[in-house]
Amino acid sequence: MTGTKEPSFRESVDLMFNRAASLMDLPPGLEQKIRVCNATYTVRFGVRLRGEIHTFTGYRSVHSEHMEPVKGGIRYAMAVNQDEVEALAALMTYKCALVETPFGGSKGGLCIDPRQYEEHELEQITRRFAYELAKRDLINPSQNVPAPDMGTGEREMAWMADQYARMNTTDINARACVTGKPLNAGGIAGRVEATGRGVQYALREFFRHPEDIAKAGLSGKLDGKRIVVQGLGNVGYHAAKFLSEEDGAIIVGIIEWDGALYNPEGIDVEAVRQWIVKHGGVSDYPDATHSAEGAAVLEEECDILIPAALEGVINLDNADRIKAPLIIEAANGPVTAGADEVLRKKGTVIIPDMYANAGGVTVSYFEWVKNLSHIRFGRMQRRQEEARHELIVSELERLDRYLGDAWTMSPNFKSKYLKGADELELVRSGLDDTMRIAYQSMREVWHSRDDVEDLRTAAYIVAIDRVSSSYRAKGL
């Protein structure tokens, strides 16, 4: 994916880490301790399918155990390799520290093209992989808690959770062994949309700070901003849908595996998603111009570019042609270290991956807490909250009658105010709060230090500082 001269994904993450660490005053040796991956487990296992034994290779990498459990998704893709899972595990450590989810970083992957297998075959493969990981505590509610990533979703998480439960029949917290499960198997409302929702909340927070908007050479609000999104998978789809339907942004470009769609008037994200479900790709979609050379649309004129697919898509080959003044990294590692430097020199503002896509792990954290507490959020307080609101509303109604035409309650006030928050509303509120606070911690470093040029370096500084305090508290 990246140009020939470029370092690997893991090296790229390390280079970004080093840039930030060089601006910090870490005790000797601690910098290296934080940067390196603690361990990577490789497993090869056979599964009998269609009368033959098929061998699969999988990984689970643990980057940092300064907090446990360690956390991070499991990816199903042919390109999965050790370098990639280690880079992704490191990003999980920094991501969790930045958004204050109490986890270390981990990541897993299986070399597989899931489209080549039927559902029952995938179940067999997933259960076997989960068995291999669980027996080494690489799936465990208190040590290592996987989640969905590229190529996996609720279905795979339900299989893994069930496999763990079968192997640990007396573990009362078994459900907390993975997150991203379906609601009926111990999941939480709002987890599927969480990463895309987090991207939306991140952009909303960015656009609350005129100084930051100006740094990107933009002005005004999110409303009317032209967006190009790469990848209409779970993350890209939800981000683009929410931004266009709720914030008035205009999706002018959508890049998919079989080319890109472009329409300066705006593209209906939901319609494209339905088209992809039906036809397998974006070709022949009627309401936009299709170009077979999808990656070229990354270079189109727009206000915001959202790479939401693979790592390394913005690299030394195309960085100087990227016109978007603001990039938000919904994918992990979409901009290589080399490209990051080119873009920084151009003045492009990049909202970095470890912050931008942290909505997923944030809501995973809520799910894990829900599983450990064995109760749905809001179950105890919702009706009590409604009863207290009822008291105020009846007083206001009395006032309404008393004042006649001089004062009346606003339409919908009563029904809106009376309703106590359900789990989904609480999850969104917790996610919004997390994204706002994490952004503010990054921008404080960005604006208060002359030697910090960009949000990525600021994000690393905040994260490394937190990880290092936690190591130091352990006496390291």
Residues that bind ligand GLU (CB under 6 A): 71-73, 147, 149, 179, 332, 357, 360-361, 364
User: 37, 41, 36, 126: which is closest to 75 by C-alpha?
Assistant: 126
Q: How far is the CB of 332 from ligand GLU (least distance, A)?
A: 6
Single-letter code of the amino acid located at 468: S
Q: How far is the CB of 367 from ligand GLU (least distance, A)?
A: 8
Strands (DSSP E) found in 33-180: 39-49, 52-64, 70-77, 104-111, 144-148
Residue among 188 and 326 whose Cβ is closer to ligand GLU: 188
How far apart are the C-alpha atoms of 453 and 463, rounded to whole Å?
17
Query: Which region, left, alpha or beta, applies to residue 137 given φ > 0 means left and ψ of -120 to 50 means alpha?
Result: left
What is the Cα gyration radius of the chain?
23
Q: How far is the CB of 147 from ligand GLU (least distance, A)?
A: 3
Residue among 288 and 438 whose Cβ is closer to ligand GLU: 438
Among the listed residues 107, 181, 215, 370, the single catalytic one is: 107
Residue among 61 and 332 whose Cβ is closer to ligand GLU: 332
Scanning the structure block, which residue is given the tokens 């280079």?
A: 15
> Nearest to ligand GLU by Cβ — which residue?
73
Neighbouring residues of 461: CB distance < 8 A, sequence distance ≥ 6: 20, 23, 24, 445, 452
Residue among 63 and 225 whose Cβ is closer to ligand GLU: 63
Grouping H, G, I as helix, E, B as strand and the rest as coil, residue 183 is helix
Q: How far is the CB of 359 from ligand GLU (least distance, A)?
A: 8
Residue among 106 and 441 whose Cβ is closer to ligand GLU: 106
Residue among 196 and 294 whose Cβ is closer to ligand GLU: 196
Beta-bridge partners for 61: 40, 107
Q: How far is the CB of 194 from ligand GLU (least distance, A)?
A: 8
379: buried, middle or exposed (CB in 10 Å: 19+, 13-18, 0-12)?
exposed
Q: How far is the CB of 93 from ligand GLU (least distance, A)?
A: 11
Beta-bridge partners for 349: 326
107 given a catalytic annotation? yes
Grouping H, G, I as helix, E, B as strand and the rest as coil, residue 151 is coil
Number of H helices, E strands in the chain: 16, 12
- What residues are annotated to the active site? 107
